[in-house]
Structure formats: C-alpha cells, structure tokens
Amino acid sequence: METEPPARVRILRIRWAAALALATLVAVLAAPGSAHATGVPTIASVSPGEGPEAGGTSVTITGTNFTGATAVKFGSANAKSFKVNSETSITAKSPAGSGAVHVTVTAEGTSATSSADLFSYVPPPTVTEVSPKVGPTAGATTVTITGSNLSGATAVQFGSSPAMSFEVKSGTEIKAVSPAGTAGIIDIRVTTPGGTSATSTADQFSYISPPTVTEVSPNEGPWAGGTAVTITGSKLSGATAVQFGSSPAMSFEVKSETEIKAVSPAWTTTTVDIRVTTPGGTSEIVPADQFQYRLPPAVTEVSPKEGSTAGGTSVTITGINLASPSVVKFGEANASSVIINSTTSITAVAPPGTGTVHVTVTTAGGKSNEVPADQFSYVPPPSTPPSNPGTGQAAPPASTASTPSPPLPPTKVKLALIANVHERLIHGTTLEVSFRLTVKARVRMIARRGRKVVARTQFRTLAAGNHRLLLVLSRRRWPTKLELQSRALAPLLTISQ
C-alpha cells in the first residue's frame, strides 16, 4: 500500500505545476499568429498627408500593433497630442515643422519609415497683387490673384464672403469671380492646406457703387452726330465708356465726379438713353438720360422773295422739320423776329440787308442747306415815295425822284374787334397797317387783286391794345382790296432774335 508523500513534497509539486502553466501561457501569447501577440508597430498611411507649418493638423495614422503606443513623432518632433483609437488607428496633432517628414509610432519598438508615413509641411499662401483692384457692388468681376504657394487652394474669400467661383491656374495665380458686396475696401484671402494668407494692402479690393445720370444738356441734336453734350450725375469718375443707345460716344472727357463732356455719334433712331460705365457698373436707364436725334430742316420756299433793304419784310418760310427752337438767318444776319407756325411753316421778319441772300433755318437737327428756293432779294426803297390816297396820309418823304406806287385801297375790317385802322406805305412797297384790338385775338392781313390773294401775313395772336402789321407788296400785282381778318384764338410759339 502506497503511502502519501509528506506535505512539503506536495507543496513543491503545486508550485512546479503553476510555474509550468504560466510558462505555457506566455509561450502561447507570444506565438506567431496569436490574437494576443504584440510586435513592432507598422504604418500603412497618414491622412491628411500635408498640413501648415504652424502645426495643429489632426492626422489619422493607420497601421498595426498600435496598442500601448508610447510616442508619435513627426520627424524628430513629438506630436502635440495623440490618441490610440485601436490596434490599427491613432489620431495625432502635428507639431510645427517644415518640409517632408516621416511619422513614426513607438510601442513594442518604433515603426520603420517608408513612403507611406510621409507628412509634408506646406508653407502658407501669400497674396502680392490683385487685378483689377475695383469692381461693382453687384459682383461678377473676374479678379486675377497673384502670389505664392497658391496650389491646392480650398477657398478664396472677398472680405467675409466666398468668391462666386475660382480656378487655380498655377502656384502663383488664381482667377476668382467677386461676389456681391457693399461699397468699401475688403481683403482678398486665399486658403490652402498651408493655411490662410495674411492680410496686406496688396490684397485689397474696392467695391464701387454704380454711376447715375441725372441730366444731359442739350438733350437733342442732329442725326449726323457731333453734338457736345454735358452729362451730369454722380460717381462718374473713372468712366470707361459713354453710350448713346448702343453706339459709343465719338469721344468723352471726365471733368469731375459729377460731370462728363461727350460728343454724340451718328444715329438712326429718334430717342436714345445716354449711359455711363465705370468700374462700379453701368448707370441705370432713367428719363433724365434721354437724348433726341432730330432730322435737319429744309427750306423749300420763301414768300415774298424780295423786300426792302431797310428790313421789316414779313416772310413766310415753307419747308420740313421746322418745329423746333429755330434760328432764322437772312444771309449772315438773324431775322428780326420769328414765329413758328408749324413743322412746315415759319414767319420771319427780314433784317436790313442788301443783294440776294439765302434764308436758312437752324434747329437742333442742324442747319438747312442753301438752295435756290430759299433766296431772298433786297430791293432798294424808292427815292420819292407816293402819297397814300387810300387813307389820305402822306408816306415818309424821299430824297430823290422815283416811280410812285399805285394808290392803296381802303382796308376792310372783319368783326368788330379791330378799331382805329391806319395804313401807309413805307419804302414804296411795304405796307404798314396800325390798329387797336379791343380783346385778345388772332389777326392777319390779306391783300387781293380781284379775287386772287397777292400777299398776306400769317395769323398772329395779339393781346388787346395797339399793334401794327407789315406786308410787302409787288408793283406788278398791286392789290385792289385789303382786309384785316380775325379768328378764334390758338397759341403760337414766338421766338425773338
């Protein structure tokens, strides 16, 4: 019968068995392929692979054997901080640095370096110039940004607003489109993996409000162009274009912030808007910027075609495009007075003159061409004026003898608006009729030979009071009847010259 070993022997056996079990466990854990095996860390990738030289980039490191990691380095510098997420992932904050460095992890040893663990420090971008430096508050200006380290740009800011769009052309150039903004100066900043550019005067861009046009003077001119127009408004400085409708001004000069002098181009329509373009945009269309193109006037007839060298002959001018503020000239001399009857008729009183001259009309549309139909001949007055048997009044005395004019018939008055009628001949063939109106009326003088009208004045609107009319007669068609007629009132435009 086997006897039980002593207690001391039993204790030794237990200790030996425990040591053997512990050694077996350690061997199992250290065996290759074991789920609990440890080893030197390896790095498969770092993301992102670049960051600013100032550091602070959050970098995810992927690999193996990261459990128990005691250090993460970027080159020779320790990460600002790191966190082991799992056996295969670490998140670390990059320290400050420069150039390209290897990222290493230390646990049961330090990871070997390879191209997979490279991290590049990117220098910050700089902006050295922006062109153009101004643009409208509406935005949409294409701006060229010049600088350094611009590759990989992720954002372009105009002040606090992102660019509408941008394109990196190279490491030194970006094309960006400005967003809408408010009038004033802002900084254009570029963001890349290396950081955001610092502000400076070189990156400044000015938003400018658009110009306005409040008046154009004159506001009309001939179709041929060439009219010097003063444009008044605001924010006109730096104007790059002045348009008359869709045609550019022949020339223009910016006189001040509120004034531009421009020369109208030729045009083929009647009314156009004058618009000004500056770096702030183009002025809006408003009634105040309108400019009218006028057709030139033309004279087709003057009647009568002759009158006294002393002037005073009432001449009817017939033509086209006459209804506009007009200057009527007999040769180089202005008419004594002008009445615009319609677009086709003007009554003008001839100034003193000699010889044969052209009667011309100048309007906003230009000056009428000189043609045979507009000729007017000055006739010297007779040296011995005749008496006036029509009224019993003597004509003005003459210095020399001349063929006397035939006697005048008495003047007949139609309606009882006219009183105190007196007539006389001056300079032989110019009839002067003076009278008094009892009320405001339109009056004209008609001379007839038989039933045929041989001379007449245009209707004139006259106030109550004393007046006179002048009518040039022809010796060849001397009248046998004179009439003063009145009609219903209608306003006429009268211009004194």
In this prediction, the residues of the chain whose per-residue pLDDT falls under 50 are 1, 25-37, 384-402, 488, 490-497
Interval 89-109: pLDDT, tens: 999 999 999 999 999 999 999
From the centroid of its chain, how far is CA 338?
40
Other beta carbons within 10 angstroms of residue 120's beta carbon come to 15
Calculated CA dihedral for residues 14, 16, 20, 25, nearest 10 degrees: 50
Q: CA-CA distance, 325 to 31, in Å (whole number)? A: 114
**CATH architecture, domain defined by 42-122:** Sandwich (2.60)
Other beta carbons within 10 angstroms of residue 102's beta carbon come to 19
- The pLDDT, as a whole number, for residue 102 is 97
Question: Rounded to 5, what percent of the chain is helix, strand, coil?
Answer: 10, 50, 40
- The pLDDT, as a whole number, for residue 98 is 92
CATH of domain 387-496: 2.60.40
pTM over 0.95? The answer is no
Instruction: Give domain limits for the chain.
Output: 42-122, 126-208, 212-294, 298-379, 387-496
- The pLDDT, as a whole number, for residue 399 is 37
Q: Which of 414, 413, 406, 410 is nearest to 423 (CA)?
A: 410
Calculated CA dihedral for residues 132, 137, 142, 143, nearest 10 degrees: 40
Tokens (6 digits) for 343: 């677009």
Strands of the sheet with 298-303, listed across from one edge: 298-303, 314-320, 345-349, 337-342, 493-496
Q: Which of 368, 370, 378, 328 is nearest to 349 (CA)?
A: 328
CATH fold label, 126-208: Immunoglobulin-like (2.60.40)
CATH number for 298-379 (one of 2.60.40.10, 1.10.10.10, 3.30.300.30, 2.30.30.90): it is: 2.60.40.10
CATH fold label, 212-294: Immunoglobulin-like (2.60.40)
**CA distances in angstroms from 229 to 85, 238, 256, listed in the order given:** 78, 18, 15
Pair 334, 497: CB distance under 8 Å = yes
Max intra-chain CA distance, the chain: 197
> Are 212-294 and 298-379 equal in CATH topology?
yes
- The pLDDT, as a whole number, for residue 471 is 84
Q: Which of 333, 371, 385, 338 is nearest to 355 (CA)?
A: 333
Interval 103-157: pLDDT, tens: 999 999 999 999 999 999 999 999 999 999 999 999 999 999 999 999 999 999 9
Pair 408, 431: CB distance under 8 Å = yes
List of residues 6+ apart from 373 with CB closer than 8 A: 299, 300, 301, 302
- The pLDDT, as a whole number, for residue 477 is 84
Q: φ, ψ for residue 193 (rounded to 5)?
A: -60, -20
